[in-house]
Amino acid sequence: MKLARLGVNIDHVATLRQQRGEFYPEVWRAAEVALATGAHQITIHLREDRRHIQDHDVLAVHDMCKKLGLPLNFEMGCHDEMIGIAIKEKPEWICLVPEKREERTTEGGLDVLNETNYQKVKKTCEALKASLPHTRISLFVEADKAVLEKCLTLKADAVEIHTGEYAKDFLNKKDLSSHLDKYGQGAQLIKKNGWGYHAGHGLTFESLEPLLAEGHFEEYNIGHWIIGESVFLGLGHVVKEMLTLMSKYPLKD
């Protein structure tokens, strides 16, 4: 029985630390707890503005991932500085995401239909693949057919579908059928080309379940809800509960 993988995003452990400028809570400890509990990988986003994850966190978290034999998924914008950091650190996965300094969090997927943006993403993918042939690349995008077709022209290995609007509609008890239809159609297109099909952004324990029932996504990267819930229940407990839910829904294709 093949199950979806869970990547735990621990950015907001760093958010809590940065509010006071202390050394605690240590981000690497969150990685240790999540992975020891059963998470399949750790996701961190080193933003250009360094609002949460710091450069030293990348090294410390990756060291913990390597110690436990599990991958680091390094989210980054398409910037020369980040390309250099990624090449030096050699993460197992890199997820390319859009960044705007004024946003609270990532607000949508990469706009690869815009030619300027497309060329920037293309250049980044090529630079990373040239220096990191064993690192796999995912592209954080919307589940739009034209976008996904454009992604397939790039040197990458997977897409991660932005589930932010789905998550909002779930919370507002709106009809989810249009989201689920797009996700299913996207799965067919992406998987027949041999790419990975991942999802993330805004998901909670409750909003994850309908996606698991559809069985299309091979990996989910979830952070804010897990860290928030961990304040009450503990990180290990929350990760274990989410993995238990995921174990009930084998992948369908």
Domain ranges of the chain: 5-246
Contact assessment for residue 57 and residue 14, using Cβ atoms and an 8 Å cutoff: yes
Average pLDDT, the chain: 96
CA distance 173 to 150: 32
pLDDT at 105 > cutoff 60: no
The Cα–Cα gap between 203 and 212 comes to: 12
Determine contact, residues 24/17, Cβ cutoff 8 Å: yes
Distance CA 103, CA 5 (A): 28
**Which tens digits make up the pLDDT trace of 42-58?**
999 999 999 999 999 99
**CATH superfamily membership of 5-246:** Aldolase class I (3.20.20.70)
Q: Label each residue of 119-135 as H, E or C.
A: HHHHHHHHHHHHHCCCC
Grouping H, G, I as helix, E, B as strand and the rest as coil, residue 191 is helix
Residue 113, helix vs strand vs coil: coil
| Positions marked catalytic | 45, 75, 201
State pTM to two decimals: 0.94
Which are the contacts of 24, defined by CB distance < 8 A and separation ≥ 6?
17
Q: Residue 75's pLDDT is what?
A: 98
The predicted model gives 159-168 an average pLDDT of 98
CB atoms within 10 A of CB 217: 23
Q: List the structure tokens of 121.
A: 């993403």
Q: Do 129 and 139 form a contact (C-beta atoms < 8 A)?
A: no
Tokens of 138: 């995912």
